[in-house]
C-alpha cells in the first residue's frame, strides 16, 4: 500500500464553521487542516529548512506508494504507518475525549490507542479509556462492521463474541484490538459539537512501530464501508471535499476538509469552472480511482499509456488507471509513459539546463544561471475534465536557482498526489460517483 509522502502530513486542527443538525443532511461541516510542516504543527522543527521538509516529504511519498500495490487478500500489509501528511482532531466517547490522529484518504477503519494497553507506543495525549464512556459498545463477530473487514484483518473472540481487527504495516508497525461503536463528535464554530453516535472504530490495545507521539492513531477517509466518510454518508449527503493550501502558504495559510451537501459547489463561479470526472469503482474499494487519458505539455498532447486495473469493453479503454490521494506528496506516473512525458517537459523548459537532484528522488531538475526559468503549462486530461496545473503545482523550488518537477515515474500504481491538488477545491460525490476540481486560492478563501 502507499505511503503518502507529500500530501503533507498535517495536523487537522478541527473546528467547524457551520453545521445544521435540524435538516436531513448537514449543510456544511468544515474542518481546518494544519500541515505537519507548518509552524502551527506540533511536528514543526524550526531548525529544518524548506528544502529539508520537502525532501522528507518526497521520501515519504516513495514509501507510501508501495501501499497501493498490495493484494485484495492482504490490504494492509504494504502500509507505512506514519505516511499521512495531515492530522485530524475529533472527540470520541461520552463524555467526549479529544483525539488527534492521521487523516488518511487511503485507509478505511479509524483506530486509536485504548486502555488497558498490552503494548502501546508513546503518545503525548492520554489514551482513550473505554470504561469511562457510557456509549462504548463492542461489535459482535457477526456484526456488519466486523464482516466489512477483510479475511486477513478480521478475528473473533468467540468466548465473548467480540470482533477483533489486526493490521500489519510494511515498516513492521502494527495495531491490534477490538472493533467497537462509539459516539464521535466534531466541534462546531456555533459552539455546539455535532455528534455521530454508533460509529464503528478500532480500539487498539497492541500497537507499535514507527508511529509518532503526536498522533493517537488513524482516521480513515477512504471509500470502503468502514471509513468515517462512508459511515457518515447519509448525514453528509455522501459528499465531502478538501482545499489544500500550497506549501508556499503554510506559514499563514491553512487547509480544510468539508463534509456535507454544500461541500461541493452546485453553481461554480463564471471565472472558475468546476471540472467533473467519473470515480471508478473497483477493488479495493478503499482507494479513489480516476481515469487519466492524456497529458498536455505546452502544445504537445501525449496519450497516457499507463496500465489500469480494468478494461471498458465498449471503448477498449483502460479505466481507473490512477489513484487520487491527498496523503501522497508527489505524483507518480507509469514509467513506460514517463520517458516521452519527461522529454516533452525538458524540451519546453527555457532559461535553464537539466541537472541531477542531489537527493536522487526527483528525475527532472533544472538549474538556471542568471536567467529566469520558463516552465511549461501542464494539463492533466481526465475523462471529461481537463485540469490545468500552475507551475507551482507541477514544479517545486529546491533552491534559489533550481526547480524540479513534482511528478516522477513508477513501475507500480500511478498516484495523483497532493502537490498537484493544491489550490483546488477537490470534491467527492460518492452518490453520483464523481470527483470534481475547482481552481481556488485555498489560503485566501478559508
Name the active-site residue from 37, 104, 108, 429. 104
The three cell numbers of residue 117 are 494497553
Whole-number Å distance between alpha carbons of 124 and 145: 29
- Give the burial class of 152: count Cβ atoms within 10 A of its Cβ; 0-12 exposed, 13-18 middle, 19 or more buried: middle
User: Catalytic annotation on 285?
Assistant: no
Cα–Cα separations (whole angstroms), residue 118 to 72, 77, 81, 91: 29, 22, 19, 23
Question: In 10 A of CB 39, how many CB atoms?
Answer: 11
C-alpha–C-alpha distance, residues 248 and 337, integer Å:
30
Give the active site residue among 108, 171, 325, 423: 325
Residue 347's contacts (CB-CB under 8 Å, 6 or more residues apart) are none
Please measure the distance between the N-terminal and C-terminal CA atoms of the chain and give it in whole angstroms.
32
325 among known catalytic residues = yes
Give the count of beta carbons closer than 10 Å to the beta carbon of residue 4: 36
Query: Rounded CA gap, 221 and 162, in Å?
Result: 24
Give the bridge partners for 367, in sequence order: 353, 402
Cell readout for 445 is 478563501
Looking up cell 499507463 gives: 306
Q: Which three cell numbers stand for residue 327?
A: 496523503
- Pull the grid cell for residue 65: 506508494
| DSSP assigned state of 84 | -
Helices (H), 180-291: 228-231
Please, which residues bridge with residue 163 across strands?
A: 156
Neighbour count for residue 26 (Cβ, 10 Å): 24
Q: What would the grid cell of residue 228 be?
A: 468515517
Helices first, then strands: H and E counts in the chain: 5, 31
Write out the three cell numbers for 100.
488527534
Q: What are phi and psi of 382, to 5 degrees?
A: -85, 165
As a whole number of angstroms, the longest Cα–Cα distance in the chain is: 74
Active-site residue list: 104, 325
Amino acid at each position: 500500500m502507499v505511503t503518502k509522502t507529500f500530501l503533507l502530513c498535517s495536523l487537522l486542527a478541527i473546528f467547524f464553521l457551520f453545521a445544521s443538525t435540524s435538516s436531513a443532511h448537514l449543510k456544511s461541516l468544515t474542518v481546518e487542516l494544519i500541515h505537519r510542516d507548518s509552524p502551527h504543527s506540533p511536528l514543526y522543527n524550526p531548525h529544518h529548512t524548506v528544502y529539508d521538509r520537502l525532501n522528507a516529504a518526497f521520501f515519504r511519498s516513495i514509501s507510501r506508494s508501495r501501499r497501493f500495490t498490495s493484494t485484495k487478500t492482504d490490504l494492509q500489509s504494504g502500509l507505512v504507518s506514519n505516511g499521512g501528511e495531515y492530522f485530524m482532531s475529533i472527540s470520541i466517547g461520552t463524555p467526549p475525549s479529544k483525539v488527534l490522529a492521521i487523516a488518511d484518504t487511503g485507509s478505511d477503519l479509524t483506530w486509536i490507542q485504548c486502555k488497558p494497553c498490552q503494548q502501546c507506543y508513546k503518545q503525548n495525549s492520554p489514551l482513550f479509556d473505554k470504561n469511562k464512556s457510557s456509549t462504548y459498545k463492542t461489535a459482535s463477530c457477526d456484526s456488519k462492521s466486523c464482516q466489512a473487514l477483510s479475511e486477513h484483518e478480521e478475528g473473533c473472540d468467540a468466548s465473548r463474541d467480540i470482533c477483533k481487527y489486526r493490521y500489519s504495516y510494511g515498516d513492521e508497525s502494527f495495531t491490534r484490538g477490538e472493533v467497537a461503536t462509539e459516539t464521535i463528535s466534531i466541534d462546531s464554530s456555533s459552539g455546539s459539537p455535532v455528534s455521530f453516535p454508533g460509529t464503528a472504530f478500532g480500539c487498539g490495545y497492541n500497537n507499535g512501530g514507527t508511529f509518532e507521539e503526536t498522533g493517537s492513531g488513524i482516521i480513515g477517509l477512504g471509500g470502503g464501508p468502514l471509513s468515517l466518510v462512508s459511515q457518515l454518508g447519509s448525514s453528509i449527503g455522501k459528499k465531502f471535499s478538501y482545499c489544500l493550501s500550497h506549501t508556499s502558504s503554510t506559514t499563514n495559510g491553512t487547509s480544510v476538509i468539508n463534509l456535507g451537501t454544500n461541500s461541493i459547489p452546485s453553481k461554480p463561479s463564471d471565472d472558475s469552472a468546476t471540472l467533473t470526472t467519473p470515480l471508478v469503482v473497483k477493488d479495493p474499494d478503499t482507494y479513489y480511482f480516476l481515469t487519466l487519458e492524456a497529458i498536455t505539455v505546452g502544445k504537445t498532447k501525449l496519450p497516457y499509456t499507463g496500465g489500469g486495473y480494468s478494461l471498458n469493453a465498449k471503448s477498449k479503454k483502460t479505466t481507473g488507471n490512477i489513484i487520487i490521494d491527498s496523503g501522497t506528496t508527489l505524483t507518480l506516473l507509469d514509467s513506460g509513459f514517463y520517458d516521452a512525458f519527461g522529454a516533452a517537459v525538458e524540451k519546453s523548459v527555457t532559461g535553464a539546463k537539466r541537472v541531477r537532484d542531489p537527493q536522487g528522488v526527483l528525475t527532472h531538475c533544472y538549474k538556471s544561471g542568471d536567467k529566469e526559468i520558463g516552465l511549461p503549462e501542464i494539463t492533466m486530461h481526465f475523462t471529461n475534465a481537463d485540469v490545468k496545473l500552475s507551475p507551482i503545482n507541477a514544479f517545486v523550488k529546491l533552491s534559489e536557482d533550481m526547480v524540479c518537477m513534482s511528478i516522477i515515474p513508477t513501475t507500480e500504481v500511478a498516484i495523483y498526489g497532493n502537490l498537484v491538488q493544491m489550490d483546488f477545491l477537490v470534491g467527492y460525490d460518492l452518490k453520483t460517483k464523481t470527483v470534481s476540481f475547482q481552481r481556488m486560492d485555498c489560503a485566501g478563501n478559508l
